[in-house]
Structure formats: structure tokens, C-alpha cells
Amino acid sequence: MKWKKYTIETTTAAEDYMSSMLMDLGIEGIEIEDNIPLTKEDQADMFIDFLPELPPDEGISHVSFYIEEDGSDQKQILTQVKAGLENLRKMVEVGSGMISSSETEDLDWINNWKKYFSSFTIEDILIKPTWEELKEEDKDKFLIEIDPGISFGTGKHETTQLCIRQLLKYIRGNSEYTPENKHPKVLDVGCGSGILSIVALKLGASEVVGTDLDADCMISTKENMEVNHLDAGLGTFYVGNLIDDEELQQKVGTEVYDIVVANILADVIIPMAPVIPARLKKGGYFITSGIIDFKENEVKAAIEKAGLEVVEINHQGEWVNITARKN
Ligand SMILES: C[S@@+](CC[C@H](N)C(=O)[O-])C[C@H]1O[C@@H](n2cnc3c(N)ncnc32)[C@H](O)[C@@H]1O
């Protein structure tokens, strides 16, 4: 599909008004480029732990939007955008308001990333996108099928893989480690696509409870449970923030989990560490990742301060997994 990209030069003060005006006109896929650093909340939502140095913010912003080349009345939309822009001038400094245009190559916003997600294995687990056909030679493999939709969690990210390896070890066991409980109850904080809950259940977990800030993850997780033939009753998933939502903490429960897994971000795991020991049974494990290597010591200190004993630290690329025990 061919798209035409239009870019409005405006001010950082007007960029939100500008995108809201465009959305009111039914335009989706709006892009904002400015030199304002992301907030901590935006960083957490976007799973970004470190940011490039930006040039100084001079108050200039470029707001771009895309219109399908065929099938839309470009002229009419542009007239509406120009009228909307002039209306905004009465409320806020919109700057030059100059609109430039360029052609883009074929774009399929929702599905393009799928080209980069194909089957792969972690130890003996085959992770396969739901849309890929299962090869004859893979029919007997330990299979997890995933469509993350708009949630995080194809399994390709180093942090997810670090957690999967720990689930393999602490649920199934391996040569150096034999778990006492082969059917643990698992809490998956930041469940995303549900991939870690599904791996845990497929490895033998008796039940999983998951949480995420993002309501869309509930849909992806539910659908992925179904695709993997897991009974819906094996998993309960809640939207919310375990760090400070006492109602959620109560729903999730106290001293009921053999394993808590949380693949989020160092800046989220640090404030979350104090509420983890209360969720774990004595002897239970906290498996966490999403930690960029230069924040390893900070996260380790927070986990130890919360009263857990760090038993393992693993690395993959620039990412870290910390596993800790409640003694
Ligand atoms: C890196 S993704 C992990 C997804 C999946 N568990 C995996 O390992 O691939 C992190 C998820 O944590 C969620 N998240 C961020 N902060 C959170 C918080 N305070 N509580 C629960 N979930 C959170 C995000 O919405 C996102 O879905």
C-alpha cells in the first residue's frame, strides 16, 4: 500500500493540539518528532531504558501523518487540516505551520513487524508465530505458539529468553538443579503477550496469575492461552500496578507463589522489589529481567534490601536476569 507522508512544522506547545486535531479528522498513525526527552512513564511503556543525547529543545516540533495514496481524497483532507491549523492559531502558538510532503514505500503499519518474527528455539522449546505453518519435522517438539498482537512478548527479546531459561530451570529442573515443586503456582508481573505464563503452564505450573498496566495485554494473553490449548481456568489476569495498588495486591494474594517472574525494566523493578517477598511462599523464587547491564547493581541492591537472597545473575547481550530466593 502506498502512502503519502505530510509533515507540519509547528511548536512543541502546539504538538498535542495538532495531533488531537488530526485524530478528530479521522487520521491515524501520527508521528511527533521533537527534542523533548521522554518521561519515566513513557520510557516504561515503550520499554526503553536508556535514551540518546538530544540536541537542545528549541521548541520546534514536526508532526507527521500519512494518507493512503489511492482511495482517499487528499485535497479535501489537506483543506481540513489547514482549516484546523488556522483554528489552533487562535488558542496556541503554532509556529510556521508549513506542510511538506513526501512519498513512502509500501507500509503495513500493523503487520510489517511480522516479517521479522519467525520460529526459533530456546533450549528445546520451539516458539512459533501463530501464522507460520508447523513443519512436519517439528510436530513432536515442545511448542509454544504466539501472536503478541500489539503487546510485548514474541520471545525474541533477550530479556524474555533469560526468563524462559530460568523458568525451565526452576520448574522443570536441569542437571544442576532439581525443583522441589514440579507444579508451582506462578505470578507473571508485566505479562504482555502472556508468553511467560504460557511457558510456565506448559512446563507444569499448576496455575498462573498475571498482571499488566496495559489492558490490551489481557486480550493477547487470553488469545495466546487459547491457541496453546490451555484452559482459561489455569490463568487469572489483572490490569494494574502491583507497586502501589493495594486492592490488586490483595487480589494477587499473600505468600501464595512458588515463583514470581517479572520481565519489566530496572526502573520499575526497583520500586516493585519491596512488594515481591510478601507474594512469595518461603523458599520461593523471584525471577526478574528487563534490566540493562549498567543498572544490575542498583536492581540487585533493591532486591537484597527487600529481604531476598540473590542466587543467580545471568547475562544475554546487554541484558541481565537476577534470580533471588525468599529464605
Ligand atoms: C518487556 S514487557 C514483558 C512482556 C512479557 N512478559 C515478556 O517477557 O516478553 C514488559 C511489560 O510490563 C508491563 N509493565 C510496565 N510496568 C508495569 C508495572 N508496574 N506493572 C505491571 N506491568 C507493567 C508493560 O506494559 C509490558 O507489557
**pLDDT confidence band for 5 (50 / 70 / 90):** confident
| pLDDT tens digits, one per residue of 55-99 | 777 889 999 998 877 766 888 899 999 999 999 999 889 999 999
- Torsions phi, psi for 296 (to 5 deg): -55, -50
Ligand 1 site, CB within 6 A: 44, 47, 151-153, 157, 160, 163, 189-192, 195-196, 211-214, 217, 241-243, 263-264, 268, 290
| pLDDT tens digits, one per residue of 254-293 | 999 999 999 998 989 999 999 999 999 999 999 999 998 8
Contact 201, 214 (CB under 8 A): no
pLDDT > 90: what percent of the chain? 65
CA–CA separation, 290 and 162 (whole Å): 9
H/E stretch holding 280: strand 280-292
Predicted pLDDT at 41: 64
Alpha carbon distance, N-terminus to C-terminus of the chain? 58
Polymer length of the chain: 327
Q: Where are the alpha helices (DSSP H) in 52-194?
A: 74-89, 158-167
Contact 187, 261 (CB under 8 A): yes
Give the global pTM.
0.77
Rg of the chain over all Cα atoms, to the nearest angstrom: 23
Best mutation site among 49, 147, 213 for ligand 1 pocket (most ligand atoms within 8 Å of CB): 213
Instruction: Calculate the average pLDDT of the chain.
Output: 90
Predicted pLDDT at 105: 64
All residues at 6 or more sequence positions from 299 whose CB lies less than 8 Å from its CB, including other chains? 266, 269, 270, 273, 288, 291, 320, 322
**pLDDT confidence band for 49 (50 / 70 / 90):** low
Query: Is residue 212 a known part of a binding site?
Result: yes
| Among protein residues, the one whose CA lies closest to atom 4 of ligand 1 | 192
| Among protein residues, the one whose CA lies closest to atom 11 of ligand 1 | 190
The residue among 11, 8, 7, 6 whose CA lies nearest residue 57 is: 11
Query: Is residue 29 a known part of a binding site?
Result: no
CA–CA separation, 306 and 18 (whole Å): 45
Predicted pLDDT at 75: 85
CA–CA separation, 144 and 138 (whole Å): 12
- ipTM surpasses cut 0.85: yes
Pairing of strands 280-292, 257-263: parallel
Does 108 score more than 70 pLDDT? no
- Residue 296, SS3? helix
For each of the domains in the chain, give its residue range(s) and CATH number, in order of start: 3-103 (3.30.70.120), 112-325 (3.40.50.150)
| Among protein residues, the one whose CA lies closest to atom 1 of ligand 1 | 264
Does 110 score more than 60 pLDDT? no
